Amino acid sequence: MIDFLKTFWQYLVPKHFLSTLMHWLMNRETPWFSQFIIKQFVAFYGVNLAEAERTAIEDYRSVNDFFTRSLAADARPIDTNLNSIVSPADGKISQSGSLKHNQIIQAKGYDYSVEALLGGDISLAKSFYDGDFAVVYLSPKDYHRIHMPMDGQLLSMTYVPGDLFAVNPATVRMVPDLFARNERLVLSFETAIGPMVLVMVGAIFVGSMETVWQGKITPDYGTSLKYWDYTDQSLHFAKGEEIGRFNMGSTVVMLLPAGKTYGLNLHDDNPVLMGQAIASIVNKDKQDNAPAKDVNDSNDDAIDYASA
């Protein structure tokens, strides 16, 4: 019943209009307003500004400037093991593991297809049949920039129009096919293990998604697919390098091909930090299936695990 009460109203409100309004409001550069909102937010959520590049509330021009804040250079060390795959964002692993052919687990009783998530791109979807996936939920208090889980070259980006339901745990449990029905950006990369996809999933009040190579994608909100081909531009990104950002919080879905990784079977609701090892690339000379290690362990342990 609690999940229902947190969710049903979303079917009734104009989510795109409210998100556009929120985006406008959060970008107002009015010091008294933005500083008041930021102070309340920091106090309510316990945001640690000491790890940010700018530690004073007065240093932020707007609320969105605060939400998309950069961190100090040493705040998120990137796992240096060559075989490690790191979390693309701060947040919680809400689901992870292996796909059942083309089906991804959303929540108990709810699955959705890779084809639906990728906006109907059947050829790309087939690259991940029986592969691995991880879903990272970013709450409003989290660091909102998205980074590369491993080295890769950008191949394409697809904007998939859709709804803007919230992506909090209650809504995930109540709305079927949530990540495949919300607006999203599908980012396709080529890596040392083959294709990798990161899907940035929009949500209500997440008034803007942007990438470092294309700038702001939303708003405005579209009604048809948009596709960008980057195969001729040699856009390479190193593990841990920033590739995009959200306003407020949302979700990132990572897809990896079958048989190339191990360890990506984490406990639900595991907190993770960007740059923390969450899986490893299978060593061709050592095809062992190491058990997953709890990502709540220390960063040093994660490095040891990644090199197992």
**Mean pLDDT, rounded, for 31-45:** 93
Q: Residue 214 pLDDT more than 90?
A: yes
Q: Residue 269 pLDDT more than 90?
A: no
| Whether residue 62 lies in the annotated active site | no
State the Cα–Cα distance between residues 280 and 295, nearest whole angstrom: 13
pLDDT at site 107: 62
Segment 270-291, tens digit of pLDDT: 899 999 999 999 865 444 444 4
Spot the catalytic one: 79, 90, 121, 132: 90
Spot the catalytic one: 84, 94, 250, 280: 250
| Whether residue 267 lies in the annotated active site | no
Return mean pLDDT, the chain.
84
State the Cα–Cα distance between residues 26 and 22, nearest whole angstrom: 6
Segment 123-143, tens digit of pLDDT: 999 999 999 999 999 988 899
Spot the catalytic one: 147, 188, 208, 280: 147
Q: Residue 305 pLDDT more than 50?
A: no
- Boundaries of every domain in the chain: 2-67, 84-306
Q: Residue 243 pLDDT more than 90?
A: yes
pLDDT at site 296: 45
Segment 162-191, tens digit of pLDDT: 887 777 777 777 777 888 888 999 999 999
Q: Collapse the DSSP code of 32 into the 3-class scheme (helix H, G, I; strand E, B; otherwise coil) and give the result.
A: helix
Across 77-95, b (16+ Cβ under 10 Å) vs e yields ebbebebbbbbbbbbbbbb
| Whether residue 90 lies in the annotated active site | yes
pTM score, two decimals? 0.86
